[in-house]
Amino acid sequence: MKHTDSLKEELNKSPEFTQLKVISKSTLEPFDVNKYPEPQDKTEKGIRAYNKQLAAKLPNWLRVWFQSEQKDENDPKSVTIHRHIKVDFLAYGYHFMDKTRVESFPGLSEGAIYEPSKGTWRTFGKGEFTKTTESRTTKEMLKWGLYRESDITGARRFLQRISYNEEYGKRSPFDENPHPELVAFANGTYSILTNKMQESSADNYMLNAHEYAVDPDRDDCPETERLLAAMMGDAAITFEEFIGYMFYRSYRPFQAFLWLYGTGGEGKSTLIRRITNLIGRDNVSASKPADLANGDRRFETANLYGKEANIVADVGSDYLKSTAAIKSLTGGDYIPAEFKGIQNFKFMNYAKLLFSANEMPAFSDHSSGFADRVIVIKMINGDTRHTHWWDQFDDAKMDEETPRFAMKCMHMFAKALKSGGLTKPDSVVNASQEWLDANDHFKEFLDEYASIDAKDDRGEATTVVTAEYKRFCQMNNYTDRTSTQAIAKKLAAYHVSKDRSRRGFNSDGGNVQRFIGLHLTGSLINDQFNE
């Protein structure tokens, strides 16, 4: 049951509210109640009739009545007429909520407002609930000649209390939404799962509106698809599925983020701008991966709240200090965030991460949890600068295809959802693995200076291996964890254990900690070893 409806029903069961009409009178013409003329008939009966006529001209939340006072019982002319004006905060609150739905939650204390014209909600910034409700209340009351601080404050306090929704606990309905497949467009709400349009509803709790209309039966976009095929070949299917995934407000199905890679001049930034316009600039954040990975940038993750995508072109090759934030953002988990001036909160991110780069950044996370998320698409069209390559494509046609391209991408994502995974042709698999391998400095070290035989019970001393790998990283200006503990963890993936043993590969027969099965075939420290 809707939060506001349940409160109305509960209140209406009470005898004191049985006479309350919360539906506004639609045919009323506002006027200044302070200037409304006093009754000419000053008898009790005349004033009662006059008040009744006046009440019919007023909204249900506003009471104005006249009352007579005779100072001298023997002098009929000593009658004074008093004007009384009262705002019923309860009735006004329901009148306000009937036109404007606002709600706040323990996990979103500032609240949000529903915008029927878009079919979506808009979250409030710091103090915006107060500003919005008081502003709208002031403008409506001014139509009736009212501007009293007590009325405006009283109405706002009632709205704050009646709109507070505890049903979601410390969460908000915008996080773990029960219907992430619903998308708001100019002509209504589209369901990715049913491929049908439906009427917009505040109960869908959507934050992202798209300013163009779509047709579920129209997804033809030949010019746009021709461009993608020319830029990325068979990887276009992965790209289109991922763009469709951006409209889906959850990371539950697939934990992935995507890179467009090319050495420069391919038009990656041009493509990025087109995708940003497709999703809508209000629905896109632009936090760089290095900033997201930097624990010191405590406000950075909050930029992604309520966004469908985080898109950044021309990302630098800055080292990713930590991939923990990126894994959290793409993991469907609650993550901490903070807006300036607003208390810390947690939210479940659904903004899909799309980056482009001429040089891929370095990282030191070689876990499967990170590797499985990586999707790299290598551009195949080369440097198009100072050429007529772009002349073969019609920008106006692609602009006109925008709604149909959006539908095409959502259709393709729906198929991927049913199949259980995003499509990854060999070109995508290979490009992704190349980036992972290029950042696996320990694998590079093993390939050049060691061999592994898990069946061999001999091993190199851990102190020697640690020293060699430290020197390797120093000589190549690599940033990586080089402690013995970190190396042991890396070698565990190769089924190499760390044990105390006397069995080495040379005269070193001491009973020391060794990496069993690892044999150094070269040295960066001892030149005699290489002779």
pLDDT digits (tens, 9 = 90+) for 57-99: 999 999 999 999 877 777 767 789 999 999 999 999 999 999 9
pLDDT band at 16 (very low <50, low <70, confident <90, very high): very low
Helices marked H in 169-283: 222-232, 236-246, 268-279
pLDDT of 352-382, one tens digit each?
999 999 998 888 777 888 999 999 999 999 9
Phi-psi bin for 378: left (phi > 0), alpha (psi -120 to 50), beta?
beta
- 369 half-sphere exposure, CB direction, 13 A CA radius: 11
Greater model confidence, 526 or 475: 475
| Predicted local distance difference test score (pLDDT) of residue 71 | 76
CB 104 within 8 A of CB 110: yes
Per-residue pLDDT for 20 more than 80?
A: no
Using DSSP, state whether 248 is helix, strand or coil: coil
Task: Quote the tokens at residue 68.
Answer: 């007579």
pLDDT band at 14 (very low <50, low <70, confident <90, very high): very low
Which has the minimum average pLDDT: 218-227, 382-391, 422-431? 382-391
For residue 144, the surrounding DSSP H or E stretch is none
Opening angle at CA 398, ends 396 and 400, nearest 5? 70
pLDDT band at 2 (very low <50, low <70, confident <90, very high): low
CA dihedral 346→351→356→359, nearest 10 degrees, is 30
Q: Domains along the chain?
A: 1-173 (no CATH), 222-437 (3.40.50.300), 440-530 (1.10.10)
Per-residue pLDDT for 24 more than 60?
A: no
Would you list the DSSP string of 353-401? EEEEESSPPP-----HHHHTTEEEEE--S---TTSSGGGGS-HHHHHHT
CA–chain centroid gap for 125, Å, is 15
| Predicted local distance difference test score (pLDDT) of residue 6 | 57
Task: Quote the tokens at residue 507.
Answer: 């005269």
Beta bridge partners of 80: 69
Which has the minimum average pLDDT: 11-15, 141-145, 366-370? 11-15
Distance CA 48, CA 496 (A): 97
Beta bridge partners of 520: 450
Distance CA 342, CA 364 (A): 33
| Predicted local distance difference test score (pLDDT) of residue 26 | 59
| Predicted local distance difference test score (pLDDT) of residue 296 | 67
Using DSSP, state whether 89 is helix, strand or coil: helix
**Average pLDDT over the chain, rounded to an integer:** 90
Greater model confidence, 26 or 382: 382
CB 167 within 8 A of CB 102: no
Greater model confidence, 337 or 267: 267
Share above pLDDT 90 across residues of the chain, in percent, rounded to a whole number: 72
Greater model confidence, 18 or 477: 477
**pLDDT mean over 269-277:** 97
Smallest CA-to-CA distance from 357 within 228, 438, 264 is with 264
Per-residue pLDDT for 1 more than 50?
A: no
Greater model confidence, 50 or 322: 50
Smallest CA-to-CA distance from 461 within 503, 522, 521 is with 503
Distance CA 362, CA 438 (A): 8
Distance CA 178, CA 156 (A): 30
Distance CA 302, CA 340 (A): 10
Distance CA 259, CA 278 (A): 18
**Number of other residues whose CB lies within 10 A of the CB of residue 273:** 13
β-sheet with 188-191: strand ranges across: 182-185, 188-191, 196-198
Task: Quote the tokens at residue 218.
Answer: 């129209």
| Predicted local distance difference test score (pLDDT) of residue 291 | 87
- What pTM did the predictor assign? 0.82
**pLDDT mean over 378-396:** 95
Distance CA 359, CA 342 (A): 37
Distance CA 400, CA 212 (A): 11
| Predicted local distance difference test score (pLDDT) of residue 19 | 44
Beta bridge partners of 108: 105
| Predicted local distance difference test score (pLDDT) of residue 15 | 45
The dihedrals phi and psi of 151, each to the nearest 5 degrees, come to -70, -45
pLDDT band at 501 (very low <50, low <70, confident <90, very high): very high
For residue 102, the surrounding DSSP H or E stretch is strand 102-105
Which has the minimum average pLDDT: 219-228, 282-291, 338-347, 436-445? 338-347
- 499-503's contacts with Cβ under 8 Å and 24+ in sequence apart are 499/459, 501/457, 501/458, 501/459, 503/457, 503/458, 503/459
For residue 148, the surrounding DSSP H or E stretch is none
Greater model confidence, 312 or 10: 312
Task: State the residue for tokens 């010019």.
Answer: 223
Distance CA 143, CA 156 (A): 18
Distance CA 25, CA 28 (A): 6
pLDDT of 149-192, one tens digit each?
999 999 999 999 999 998 888 788 888 788 999 999 999 999 99
pLDDT of 3-12, one tens digit each?
555 555 554 5
